[in-house]
Amino acid sequence: MSASGGLMEGNQAREDEDARDSCCADEETSPVVERRNRSGIISTPLSKSLKHSRALSQYIATCSAAAAVANANANRLAQSSLVPAGIKSHSVDAQHRGQVGLTKLDRGALVSSLLDSPSGLHLAQAAELLRRASMLLPVSDSSNLGVGGDMEAVSASDSLGSVTDFPLLSNGGGVGGTFPFHPGLFIMTPAGVFLADGALSQVTGASEQQQAHNEMAAAASANAKKKRKRCGLCPPCRRRINCEQCSSCRNRKTGHQICKFRKCEELKKKPAGGLEVMLPTGAPFRWFQ
């Protein structure tokens, strides 16, 4: 546990700091003193930024690498007039230069995001869950999961723990829940897990269904309680500069939100994330009603 410690939001930027410092030690040529917090995020003090928020062009000139990034930022700003809706990586090479390889936190965030999916359930975990489910139920042919050729079955990870990792399936452990769905009814794709047509009507009993729903709701809510972490890889995540102009920056005191240009793309998506179970209709399946 301690090995993967230090996963604070912002550590990522800390290591970049070295690379950046080497290229721009004299960044205080700017009249306004840059304030970098210990994470390396550049942001002026709230009061200062409120008094006279600098034009983006002003903190563009701080450093070559940062300048490149900020330049793209400025361009984008100019185009979108502070609406970060369409963030695209025009500045790939600029970011590449500013960021030599993955930093510690990038990797940490990546690993973290792999272990902790946005939905709280990892794909591998889901796969394992389904696999175990297939063990519990008499399945004629579970190898195919009942999908066509273009669907991709996800191999289960063997690094997962015992059945206790899946309280929903531990029929001997006291919980007593039984997985309510035939594993073949699940369609697993890289985009998410889908529930095959008629799956809901094949559940054995109403009370069991209710119980299973309760169990799932409990597990889901327990997982959903956890705060998601930024991916650390998307362009906004890689940005280290608070624009100080967006509403989140200006309103930091009460808003408690990260700069809109730094908001992780993954976190922008709704928490259900990649493991949303979909009904054939396309509507999301509700674990609890």
Strands annotated E in 44-123: none
| Cα-based distances in Å from 65 to 54, 62, 157, 250, 253 | 19, 9, 40, 25, 29
Q: What is the DSSP letter of 284?
A: B
Binding-site partner at residue 249 among Zn ion, DNA, none, CB < 5 to 8 Å by type: Zn ion
**C-alpha atoms less than 13 angstroms from C-alpha of 125 in its C-beta half-sphere:** 22
Nearer to Zn ion, 81 or 201 (CB): 81
Contact 27, 34 (CB under 8 A): yes
CB of 208 to DNA, least distance (A): 27
Contact 146, 187 (CB under 8 A): yes
- Residues paired with 187 in a beta bridge: 194
- One-letter amino acid at 196 equals A
Nearer to DNA, 180 or 274 (CB): 274
Tell me: does residue 234 bind Zn ion (CB under 5 A): yes
Interface residues with DNA (CB under 7 A) are 5-11, 37-39, 41, 43, 224, 226-230, 247-248, 251, 254-259, 262-264, 267, 271
Nearer to DNA, 19 or 224 (CB): 224
Q: Tell me the three state secondary structure of residue 188.
A: strand
Stretch near Zn ion under the rule CB under 5 A, chosen from 111-119, 185-193, 207-215, 251-259: 251-259
Nearer to DNA, 196 or 246 (CB): 246
- Residues paired with 193 in a beta bridge: 188, 277
Stretch near Zn ion under the rule CB under 5 A, chosen from 72-80, 141-149, 215-223, 233-241: 233-241
CB of 190 to DNA, least distance (A): 22
CA geometry: angle 113, 115, 121, nearest 5 deg: 95
How many residues belong to the site for Zn ion (CB under 5 A)? 9
The residues binding Zn ion (CB under 5 A) are 230-231, 234, 237, 243, 246, 249, 259, 264
